[in-house]
Amino acid sequence: MRNYGNRRVLVTGGAGFIGSHLCERLLARGHEVLCVDNFFTGTRGNIQHLLDDPAFEVLRHDITFPLYVEVDEVYNLACPASPVHYQFDPVQTTKTSVMGAINMLGLAKRLRVRILQASTSEVYGDPEVHPQHEGYWGRVNPIGPRACYDEGKRCAETLFFDYHRQHGLRIKVARIFNTYGPRMHPDDGRVVSNFIVQALRNKDITVYGDGGQTRSFCYVDDLVDGLVRLMEETPDDFTGPVNLGNPQELTIRELAERIIELTGSRSRIVHRPLPADDPRQRRPDIRLAREALGWQPTTPVEEGLQATIQYFDRLLAACG
């Protein structure tokens, strides 16, 4: 990627799983980074290694409240992403997506700077179109337990496009599909972290439902590469939404089997009830990302899982 020059970049949710990798990447590219986080699901540990860098600054702040800072670019990632966390305080989840978007858009409007939204494949809900392309409007239950997240993110997209049309704001909307890698929260209930922690402890692997539902898992380094390309490499009139994810689709049962194999675990697979509104299948159509960003994931799933397993192995050893 060409060098984009030194910029002061705001990353909301910068102490979270994806945000911390993004902060790291932006610093490595020579930018200054202002990480804004309320530490709901993010941790100091995720950004500890960046704190000595004079180009890195952290601000504890909840983006549902206005924020006045001076920056050249905004990545809006703040929002809990795992069902366990976003359903803990669903009203706050919707506020974070909606009021957070309004505040960050207001900031980008005042400063006339580019702003990127971390949207999600959940805007497609439980899809009847497969694989999902950006033109598909989705099938979301507006009153179910996942709605605070899905509808919050859909409304945030609406706000981004209205600020673009009404105020000429330069927006970039990324629809991120399931992402995994080091610094996932061990207790956040997501499938990759759950299975790896269970496998490393030789505990039962909890497959919800029959395990025939599918997801497509993208390694975090690939995802961050896509986000930076979208922000830095696309012309002003390229707004997205653009899918960022790995088109390689796995059933949840296959994922469990691969993790057992890679960890050499003695764990058995057990079945638990499928949560309400759990999407049956999910795979991104990434033709647009390939064309507009020259992007596609390059990390094979075995390699990404190995790196993630090593991370959790060290984490569990440190926790005793």
Q: Please report, as ranges, the residues that interact with ligand UDP according to CB under 6 A.
A: 66-68, 82-83, 102-103, 106-107, 109-110, 178, 189-191, 194, 206-208, 213, 215, 252, 274-275, 278
CA distances (Å), origin 284, targets 19, 65, 147, 248: 21, 33, 21, 9
Partner touching 275 among ligand NAD, ligand UDP, none, CB below 5 to 8 Å by kind: ligand UDP
> Contact region for ligand NAD (CB under 6 A) — 77-85, 204-212, 290-298, 306-314?
77-85
Q: Judged by CB under 6 A, does residue 127 bind ligand NAD?
A: no
> Counting contacts by CB under 6 A, is residue 169 touching ligand NAD?
no
Q: What is the DSSP letter of 166?
A: H
CA angle, corner 245, sides to 259 and 119, nearest 5? Answer: 120
Choose between 56 and 180: whose C-beta lies nearer to ligand UDP.
Answer: 180
Instruction: Say what the alpha-carbon torsion angle 300, 250, 247, 93 is, to the nearest 10 degrees.
Output: -110
CA distance 158 to 156: 5
- What is the bridge-based pairing of β-strands 8-12 and 56-60? unpaired
Residue from 24, 31, 33, 40 touching ligand NAD (CB under 6 A): that is: 40
Structure tokens at 73: 């670019």
Question: What is the rounded CA–CA span in Å between residue 269 and residue 29?
Answer: 43
Tokens of 236: 């002003």
179 binds ligand NAD (CB under 6 A): yes
- Look up residue 109 and give its two tokens: 């409007």
Burial of 3 (0-12, 13-18, 19+ CB in 10 A): exposed
Q: Is 15 in the site for ligand NAD (CB under 6 A)?
A: yes
Which residues is 242 bridged to in the sheet?
Answer: 174
Q: Return the residue of 94, 120, 132, 194 that touches ligand NAD, per CB under 6 A.
A: 120
Cβ nearer to ligand NAD, comparing 39 with 311 = 39
| Residue of 7, 9, 11, 17 interacting with ligand NAD (CB under 6 A) | 17
Number of residues engaging ligand NAD in binding (CB under 6 A): 29
d(C-alpha 204, C-alpha 195), whole Å: 9
Q: Which does 206 bind (CB under 5 to 8 A by kind): ligand UDP, ligand NAD, none?
A: ligand UDP
Task: Select which of 86, 149, 163, 219 is catalytic.
Answer: 149
Rounded-to-integer distance, Cα 153 and Cα 118, Å: 9
**Residue 107 binding: pick among ligand NAD, ligand UDP, none (C-beta 5-8 Å cut-off by kind):** ligand UDP
301 binds, among ligand NAD, ligand UDP, none (CB under 5 to 8 A by kind): none
Closest CA to 251 of 224, 221, 223, 282: 282
- Catalytic residue at 75? no
Q: Does residue 178 belong to the site contacting ligand NAD (CB under 6 A)?
A: yes
Q: How far is the CB of 289 from ligand NAD (least distance, A)?
A: 14
| Dist CA 266 CA 258 (whole Å) | 13
* 26 interacts with ligand NAD by CB under 6 A: no
Binding interface with ligand NAD (CB under 6 A)? 12-13, 15-19, 37-42, 62-64, 77-81, 85, 96, 100, 118, 120, 176, 178-179
Catalytic residue ranges: 149
